[in-house]
Structure 1
Amino acid sequence: MSLPDLYAHPFSSYCWKALIAFYEHDLPFTLKMVSPDEPENSARWAELWPFKRFPLLVDGDLVLGESSIIAEHVDRRSGAPRLVPADPDAALQVRMLDRLFDQQVMDPAARLVFNAIRPEDKRDPLADEQVAAQLATSYAWFDAHLSGRTWAATDSFTLADLSAAPALFYADWIIPIPEAHANLRAYRARLLTRPSVARAVEGARPYRHFFPLGAPDRD
C-alpha cells in the first residue's frame, strides 16, 4: 500500500496537527512541501484543493482537508486509535477542546500574524486590541480548566492536546501567557516535552526567520 501524501509546511501551526498525529503513531507518510521552492507540489495542491489551505492529505483515493479531520483519520488508520476516545461522551469533550484551542487561541493568534504580513496601509488597526482581549479571556479559561489536569480532555494525550500544542506554542510567542496562569504555562511546557510535539518543533526550527512578528529566542 502506498504511503499517504501530506501537503503541508513544517512551520504552519495547522500543519503541526497533522504531523503530530503521524508522529504519535509512528506512521510513515510522504511530506509534499508546499512552498515556492517546490512548485510542482504547490501546483498539485492547488489543483486538488482550490481553497488553498493546508494541510491536505491524499491517502489513496481519499482527499482530506482540515487538520482535525486529518488527525482523526490518521488515528483511525493507525489500527490503534487513541487520539479520540471510544467513549462517546469523552470523545465529545475531546472534540470540543480541539475546536476551542483552534478557534479561541490559534485563530486569533494567526490574525495578528496575517495582519503583520499585509502592507502597512492595509492592516486592521483594531487587531492588536481585539486579539489581546480574546487571548486574555482564553488564557484565563484554559488556566482554570487545566487545574488538576495533566492533559486537556482526558487522562491521556488526545486530539485536544494535539490542537493545543501549536496553538499555545505560537500564541505565547505573540502575547505571552501571564505568569499568574501557572496551570496553562505548565501545560504548555509539558506539551513541549511530548516527543511528537518536540519533533514538530524541531522540524519547524529552520523556518523561524519567516515569523513576521519576530521569533523569540526560546523554545
Structure 2
Amino acid sequence: MKIIGSFVSPYVRKVLACLVLKGLDYEIDPITPFFGDDTFERLSPLRRIPVLIDGDLTLCDSSVICAYLDEAYPGRALLPADPKDRARARWFEEFADTRLGDVFIWGLFYQRNVRPVVWGEPCDEARVEKSLSTDIPAALDYLERELPAAGFLFGDVGLADISLASFFRNAAYAGFEPDPARWPKTAAYVARVLAEPCFATLLPFEDVQRSVNPAGRRAALLEAGAPLTAETLGTRTPKRGVMAL
C-alpha cells in the first residue's frame, strides 16, 4: 500500500497509526497537499491528504480509508464489536475530524505554522484568539465530560482514540496543550494515547519533517528509516485546493 501525505498531518497520522496498529506495511510519499503535482490533484480532486493506493484502488479521506482498512484487512480491529460502542466510536472520529480539525488545524496550526511559511501571509491573530479563548475550551469541556479517567474509550486503543489524540499533537506544534488543572481527564488521556507505540513510532519521522529543509527532507527521512516511495508527487511551488482557506 502507498500513502500520499505528510507525517505532520493529523489525518495522515491517523491512517498511519491505524496501519501500525493492524500490522500492515506501507510506503509513503510525505508531501503536504499544497505541494502536490497534477497527478496528485487527479488522485485527490480536493487536493487533500491522505490518499491511499492499494493495488487498483485509490481512496481519499481518512475516515473512508480507515473503514476500508478495517473491512479489507481482518485481524486487529479498529472499532469495538458492540454496535452501540461502534456507533459512539464513529461519532468521536467525526467530532475529531470536523470540530477538532476546525479549532486546532484551521483555527490554530494553519494560522501559526502554515500561512506564514507556505503562503507568506500573516497569521490571523483574531481567529487564533477566538480559537484559544472560546472554541478550543468549549471542545475540551465536552471531551472532559466524555473521556475515561483511565485507559481508552472502548477497551484497547482504537480508531476513536487515535482520531482524537492526533489533533492534539498538531495543537502542541502550534503552542497549545490542554491544561491539566482545567481538563485533567483530557490531558491525561491524550498523553496516554500519544504514548502508544502506534503513535510513538511515527514521532521521529514527524520531527525530521518539521526540522529539515525541504530540499534535504527525503534524504533525512530515508536516513531515519521512513518507508518512502521511490518517486514523489511533490512540487516546489504551492497551489491552493478548492476547499483551502
TM-aligned CA deviation for residue 42 of structure 1: 4.2
Matches within 5 A, 1:123-202: 123-132=123-132, 133-152=134-153, 154-173=154-173, 174-180=175-181, 181-202=183-204
Runs of 4+ in 1 over 4 A off after TM superposition: 119-123
Deviations along 1:34-67, whole A, 9 cap, x unmatched?
259xx8x744322222211010011122211111
Matched with 1:27 is 24
Contact 1:84 1:91 in 2 (8 A): yes
Counterpart of 2:147, as a letter, is L
TM-aligned CA deviation for residue 81 of structure 1: 4.7
Segments of structure 1 that go 5 or more residues without pairing to the other structure are 211-219
Structure 1 range deviating more: 117-126 or 70-79 = 117-126
Contact 1:84 1:159 in 2 (8 A): yes
Structure 1 range deviating more: 110-119 or 197-206 = 110-119
Matched with 1:114 is 110
Once residues 35 and 130 of structure 1 are traced to their aligned partners in structure 2, the CA distance between those partners, rounded to angstroms, is 26
Once residues 121 and 156 of structure 1 are traced to their aligned partners in structure 2, the CA distance between those partners, rounded to angstroms, is 43
Matched with 2:3 is 6
Counterpart of 1:107, as a letter, is D
Matched with 2:14 is 17
TM-aligned CA deviation for residue 106 of structure 1: 2.9
Once residues 191 and 82 of structure 1 are traced to their aligned partners in structure 2, the CA distance between those partners, rounded to angstroms, is 17
Which TM-score applies when normalising by structure 2?
Answer: 0.74
Deviations along 1:193-214, whole A, 9 cap, x unmatched?
211110122221112238xxxx
Cα distance, 1:35–1:134 mapped onto 2, change above 3 Å: closer
Cα distance, 1:202–1:121 mapped onto 2, change above 3 Å: closer
Once residues 57 and 121 of structure 1 are traced to their aligned partners in structure 2, the CA distance between those partners, rounded to angstroms, is 31
Structure of greater relative contact order (alpha carbons < 8 Å, 6+ residues apart): 2
Deviations along 1:100-147, whole A, 9 cap, x unmatched?
122222321111222233367665343112211111111122122124
Which TM-score applies when normalising by structure 1?
Answer: 0.82
Would you say how many aligned residue pairs link Structure 1 and Structure 2?
Answer: 203
Segments of structure 2 that go 5 or more residues without pairing to the other structure are 213-245
Cα distance, 1:205–1:89 mapped onto 2, change above 3 Å: same
Counterpart of 1:30, as a letter, is E
